[in-house]
Amino acid sequence: MAILVDSNTRILVQGITGDFGSRHAKLSLDYGTQLVAGVTPGKGGQTFEHGTHKVPVFDTVGEAARQSGATVAVIFVPPPFAADAILEGVDAGLDLVVAITEGIPVNDMIRVKVGMAGKKTRLIGPNCPGLVTPGTGKDSHGGCRIGIAPGYIHKRGNVGVVSRSGTLTYEAVWQLTSRGYGQSTCVGIGGDPVNGTNHTDVFKMFNEDPETEAIIMIGEIGGEAEEQAAAWAKANCKKPIAAFIAGASAPPGRRMGHAGAIVSGGKGTAAAKIAALLDAGIAVAATPSAMADTLLKHWGR
């Protein structure tokens, strides 16, 4: 079953005519994703072409969703306009909006969170690699790739992956695939301090998904999201979980690459997160290279 998206999910791309958006739209089409519409204000009526694919471009998300049946949007829009792009998807009643954009001002994201209150739309990101549900075809094509993740490293299987770090997501996926273990869905939630979906949200979805049998969680110093997820898992989740926390060697107060990875007030340290994870019965990898092996040992494989 996987979570959030599958091979039947219909996607629209906001910013499809830009360099970054067009490049990854092509990769998603190559992967077999049902990319059915693009949105660029002022370019409605044009067509985005790639191989045999001809994707209609619309001026607004609402029009694109009505005409194409898209239920998910992925955003490749520059930071000054990204918040409005997210809210446009919310106003259109989409099920899911995936914001890849990095550098959206925190005040803008606070405005987004207020605007999303009480609405049905779920936000993944911003500043995230997106998500992949591998397909069952050759090289796992025919699934759903939303964002910038390298689709070719994925394999259809039973391990769910959730991560604040894009590159460590890819590392975990490749380790699993290399050992013959595929993924149900891989979700990059991003590392910004104000985001739409956290580790606990994804844990709940993986816990309810019959296809997902085990989970890898990748966190970072800063904030308390990992501790909160550990507490939820301890009380509710029986599936084996392995984790890695990036930034263990960072001194107090050090800002890492993600805007949310800031340790302050004695909270959000790697030691605190690791202690909470271990207390919840979650196995913790000492290094990034040990993520898959740590899970497999904990899983009894």
Q: Is the pTM of this model over 0.85?
A: yes
CATH number at residue 91: 3.40.50.720
Q: List, for residues 192-211, the tens digit of each pLDDT value.
A: 989 999 999 999 999 999 99
87 in the same domain as 179: no
Is residue 173 situated within a structural domain? yes
pLDDT, residue 173, reads 98
CATH number at residue 210: 3.40.50.261
185 in the same domain as 231: yes
117 in the same domain as 172: no
Band of residue 139 on the pLDDT scale cut at 50, 70, 90: confident
Q: List, for residues 241-258, the tens digit of each pLDDT value.
A: 999 999 877 666 555 555
165 in the same domain as 220: yes
Catalytic residue among 154, 199, 258, 298: 258
98 in the same domain as 165: no
Is residue 148 situated within a structural domain? no
Tokens 């990898």: give the residue.
285
**Cα–Cα distance, 127 to 188 (Å, whole number):** 9
Return the H-helix or E-strand segment holding 38.
Answer: strand 34-39
Residue 258 known to be catalytic: yes
pLDDT, residue 140, reads 76
Q: The domain containing residue 173 runs over which residues?
A: 155-299
Is residue 131 situated within a structural domain? no
Q: List, for residues 268-295, the tens digit of each pLDDT value.
A: 788 999 999 999 999 999 999 999 999 9
Band of residue 265 on the pLDDT scale cut at 50, 70, 90: low
19 in the same domain as 73: yes
181 in the same domain as 108: no
pLDDT, residue 268, reads 76
**Cα–Cα distance, 157 to 129 (Å, whole number):** 20
pLDDT, residue 9, reads 98
**Cα–Cα distance, 141 to 29 (Å, whole number):** 10
Check whether 226 has a pLDDT greater than 80.
yes
Domain count, the chain: 2
The residue ranking higher by pLDDT, 2 or 24, is 24
Mean pLDDT rounded to a whole number for the chain: 94
Check whether 138 has a pLDDT greater than 80.
no
Band of residue 113 on the pLDDT scale cut at 50, 70, 90: very high
pLDDT, residue 80, reads 97
Tokens of 87: 């809210």
Question: Where among 124, 140, 167 does a domain terminate?
Answer: 124
**CA angle at residue 38 from 169 to 18, to 5 degrees?**
70
Check whether 264 has a pLDDT greater than 90.
no
Determine contact, residues 145/33, Cβ cutoff 8 Å.
Answer: yes
Check whether 212 has a pLDDT greater than 60.
yes
pLDDT, residue 39, reads 98
pLDDT, residue 255, reads 57
**Cα–Cα distance, 245 to 164 (Å, whole number):** 10
pLDDT, residue 222, reads 85
pLDDT, residue 247, reads 82
**Cα–Cα distance, 75 to 126 (Å, whole number):** 9
110 in the same domain as 234: no
256 in the same domain as 172: yes
Is residue 197 situated within a structural domain? yes
Task: Please state, in angstroms and as integers, the Cα–Cα distance from residue 236 to each residue in 169, 173, 224, following that order.
Answer: 24, 25, 18
Check whether 158 has a pLDDT greater than 80.
yes
292 in the same domain as 162: yes
